Structure formats: structure tokens, C-alpha cells
Structure 1
Amino acid sequence: MTAPALFDLTAQAEAHARARASGMFLQELACDEILERLKAVNRQFKSVAIVTNFPQAWCVAFPNAKLIRGADLLDLQPGQHDLVIHAMALHHCNDPIGQVVQCGRALEPDGLFMGVCFGGQTLMELRSALSTAEAELRGGLSPRVTPMAEIRELGSLLQRAGLALPVADSLKIPTAYSDIYHLMQDLRDMGETNIMTARQKTFTAKSLFVQAQEIFAAQFPANEGRIACTFDLVFLSGWAPHASQPKALKPGSVTKSLQQALEEAKSSLGN
């Protein structure tokens, strides 16, 4: 049996269609961070592909890139690119490992994959406030905030996809909103509303959000009577295998212990 899809792709398309330019600030921040990381690579990339449903946030920084619409099957051809970027979409993929595998196959040997998406600490305050309010009012929970993977889980995608020299790091972005309604409007403008297949599809009583706002304000206060909210960006990078890349030593090939190496280094410094 095929497992039911976690995300509703029709709802995703509708959410993205509602997104506004004012909600692109995290997309733009992610793009700036990718550019900074590329500066450290010391290589000119000539054939770039970017998987994104918000091309307006990426096309200026990468004017010659091939922009790929996010889908279960990506419009990528094997071995055609020296850089593939999966931009702010892995957190809403039904098959994230399949996405990274497709990107890896699209790389030429020694090509670079880079990914950025929301990580597990994103909207932790909103998740907590809504869960507590719903438990108090209804005695149960509904899926209201997308579950997002932690950095270790996302980093493992690189190895599972067969990419070499995998690296994962994260960037926490603290923000503040006037209230929960302001935050939810911003998420709507970002195209990041709830698209889980199991989400409640009937009208939600206002009392839930009133209660959640009270909990939010009490547990996660910010300056000037605002509420604090965290966004967590996880950045991934890995290389298509190539003979020129550093290789791990074979088991049993080490002839000195770490202690011996440290003692020798200390001795040489003393001389």
C-alpha cells in the first residue's frame, strides 16, 4: 500500500498563488545566505538550476539560472548542471529524499548541490500556543503547523542521496509580531499556510485563536507588548562524487593514535 501524502499539492498551489511580495523577506534572506556560502566555494558555476516556486525572489541573484517549478518529478536532466539549488521547498515535499536524489542526478561530476528550507525550530512558539489552547478547549489536537525536520534529519538526506562531503548548518531568525493574527497573515503572504492533508477543513472557532493569543503573549513575550516567533533556516550542501575529492581513510589504515599525534606535536613545539 502507498502511504497517504503528508501534503496537499493543490492546497500548496493555492497558497503560493496567494503569496505577496511583502512575504518574500525570508526567501530573499535565504538567497542572500546561499550567495554568501557560494563565495567560500571559490568556483564559477556556469550551469545553474534552482528549484523554487517563488522565482521572483531568486532570478535577480541568479539571472542565468534555469528555474524549476517544485513538483514530485522535477524538470531536471541527468548530469546537466554544475550547481543545483533546492530553494525553500523541502519542508513541504512529500518525498524530500527523492527531491535531493533528483537534484544529485542532475549534477555533473563534482557539481554542487545546495538546499535551504525551514528547520524544526520554525514556529515552535505558534505550535505550542495552538496546541495548548486546543487541548484546553477541546481536549484534543488537530494538525495546524507543519512538522519540520531537525537539522540532523535534513543532513542525513545528503548521505542517503549519495552526495559527498555533506554539510548542514542552521540560522535562527528571531522575529516579533503584534499578535497571532499578524503572524498568521504574514504566513499567508509567504505562501506558508497549513497544507497538510490531515488538516481540519472546517471553520475554526474564533475562541481557539483568542485563547492561543493569550497563551502566546504570556509564554513568549517580546518588547512593546509583542509576541516572539522563531524561524529556523537549515542550509545543506553536498557534492556529486568525483575522483579528485578528499577520501576518508580506510578502516585500519591509521598508524598512530590521537594521543601519540598530540604528544609528538607538543614535543615539536617544545623544540
Structure 2
Amino acid sequence: MSSVPALFDHALLAARRRRALACEQRFSDAGFLRQSAIDDLVERLEAVSRSFEHALDVDAPDEALAQALLATGKVHNASAGKGFSNADIDHPRNEADGRLGDLPENGGCYDLITSVLSLQFANDLPGTLIQLRRALKPDGLFLGALLGGDTLIELRQVMLAAESEILGGAAPRILPFGEMRDMGSLLQRAGFALPVADIDTLVVRYSNPLRLLSDLRAMGATNILRSGARQPLRRDVVMRAMDLYAHRFAEADGKVPATFQIISLSGWAPHESQQKPLRPGSARTRLADALGVPETPAGEKAGHAKPVK
């Protein structure tokens, strides 16, 4: 039996995505966050000076990113996989095992794997990253984006406050998001070479906080936490939270902000052709010579004479 806790209900995630996709126009209108992450990923890919034969966009709700990859001219074949979103009766599996259902067990099949705003739903993120690395051919590239720790921080605060005020306690309603400082280490632990993680913050302004809730529903991004998804959220709690949102966060023009943090990840499947750090002490050029400055021995402060005894 797996020891990985099943934090997220993937079957519920699949159902909510299907509901969101059923209203195509609304899903498109609320897709600004995903589109922003796709645009950034494509820009990072275009900076890579090579092409890719076979690409997979894992856990994709649609083919938007796969089509964008093909449009760059750097990718010859791209497909959109279902991953977490096919965790339903058609693909039964143990959700706690942290595996993505559309990746091969034997690995080494893809030159490029992408993931946009889905990895935050992984019950076992370290295990999922290992699976992604194994699915790449040697010198294959992984590019991903997931939501970071301060995402929806305003909504998180007012939901906790409203539920505590009315019910005397609060159930978790918003996913716990990872911190950027941990992501580079996770990539390294998963066996990726040349790992890079950075973060971008997007603040969206709404005329009414209820419109934020509407967008989250249209994205298929409402609560899938196992500990909170089964507890219906009372209307009086929601309305109190919206009052608190407007009171605490409204700006001069009456609009309220919603913060989204997007963590971008990249890493390569190891290959002997990749750059490797030099051994300590193997440098042949002094740093002082390269910088054109006098060399200061260790223990001495630059710009100060040695003390006279």
C-alpha cells in the first residue's frame, strides 16, 4: 500500500473539468491564466536552439498548448494527454500512487514533455517529476508551470475568516500550493539536469469578488481537496466572505485584486553531451585576472592595509 496521502480527488477534478469544457465559450473567456502560462512556456521553448520530434503535453484539458508547440516550428509531433483528468471509471487506479496515467511505464519515449497548471494537483509531486524525467529520452526537455504559494491568498484569508466567524471553525477550501524555493530542489531530486525554477506574479482585478468565483468555476478549478470537497459550502458563508473581500482588499476604484503566482520549471533528462561543473581546483585562470582587479588573499579585507605588528 502506498504511503503517499491522497490529498486531491482526481475523479472530482475530471468531473469538474468536463463540466467546464461543456461550456466552451465560458471556459475560453476564463482561460486567461492558462493562456498566460502557455505564452510564457512557448517563449521559453523558442529560446532553445534545437528541435523536438515527439512532444507530449501531460494532463491537458484541451489541445491549446499542443497546437502552440506545433506553431513554433520546433516541434514536429505533439499530443495532449489526459493524465490526472482521466482518473475516473474509465481508467481506475490508485490515486495515491501519484502517477500520471498517460505516461509509459518503460519510459524514454519523448523529446519534450510539457505541463501547464496541472502539477499542483499531484498527490505525489516528487514521484510525478521522477515519472516525467523517466518518460523523456536522454537529453529530452521538460517545461512546466504550476501555481505557487501566494495564489488566491486574498480569497484564502476571507474564506477562513468567514467560516470561522459563522461556524466556529473552517474546513480547507483552497489547494495548498508549493513554494518556489522548493521547486529547484525537487527537480534535482527527480534526476533532472540543469534544473531551473522561477516565478511570476499575475494580479487580476475584478469589479466584484463573485466574478472571481465564477471564473474559478469556469476554469474547472474549484475545490478538489478530499478533506473539504465533500462538505458543502453554505451560502451565508460565501456571502460573508465576499463582504470581507470587498472590505479588506477593495482599491480606490472599488475593484478587488486576485493574486496568481505561476512557477515555471525546466529540466533536462541527463545526457553525456550536457555541460557539467568543473572539479573544484581545476580552474586554469584566476578570477582576479578575468576581472582585472588585484587579488586579495583569503582573510584580508579588500582596500585595507595589513595590520602592522
TM-score by length of 1: 0.90
> How much has 1:154 moved relative to structure 2?
2.3
Query: Which letter maps to 1:213?
Result: M
User: SS at the partner of 2:133?
Assistant: helix
Query: Which letter maps to 2:291?
Result: A
Higher relative contact order (CA 8 A, sep 6+): 1
Query: Which letter maps to 1:152?
Result: R
Q: Give the corresponding residue for 1:70.
A: 83
Q: Give the corresponding residue for 2:43.
A: 36
Cα pair 2:4 2:124 within 8 Å, conserved: no
Structure 1: any 5+ residue segments left out of the alignment? none
* 182-191 or 152-161, larger mean C-alpha shift: 152-161
> How much has 1:253 moved relative to structure 2?
4.4
Q: Give the corresponding residue for 2:270.
A: 241
> How much has 1:254 moved relative to structure 2?
5.7
User: SS at the partner of 1:16?
Assistant: helix
User: SS at the partner of 1:62?
Assistant: helix
Q: Which whole-Å deviations, capped at 9, do the CAs of 1:245-268 have from their partners, x for residues lacking one?
A: 121233454688xxx724762348
> How much has 1:84 moved relative to structure 2?
0.8
> How much has 1:200 moved relative to structure 2?
4.9
Equivalenced residue count is: 265
Identity %: 41
* 233-242 or 24-33, larger mean C-alpha shift: 24-33
User: SS at the partner of 1:100?
Assistant: helix
Q: Give the corresponding residue for 2:144.
A: 115
Q: Which whole-Å deviations, capped at 9, do the CAs of 1:49-98 have from their partners, x for residues lacking one?
A: 11033123223213430222113333234212111112221001111122
Say if 1:238 and 1:200 are closer, same or farther in 2 by CA, change over 3 A: closer
RMSD of aligned alpha carbons: 2.1
> How much has 1:109 moved relative to structure 2?
1.3
Structure 2: any 5+ residue segments left out of the alignment? 21-26, 71-76, 85-98, 295-309
Q: Is 1:127 the counterpart of 2:134 in the alignment?
A: no
**Which of these two proteins has the greater Rg computed from alpha carbons?**
2
1:240 and 1:122 map into 2 onto residues whose CA distance is 29
Cα pair 1:85 1:113 within 8 Å, conserved: yes
Q: Give the corresponding residue for 1:106.
A: 135
TM-score by length of 2: 0.79
User: SS at the partner of 1:65?
Assistant: strand
Q: Is 1:56 the counterpart of 2:80 in the alignment?
A: no
Query: Which letter maps to 1:237?
Result: S
> How much has 1:42 moved relative to structure 2?
1.3
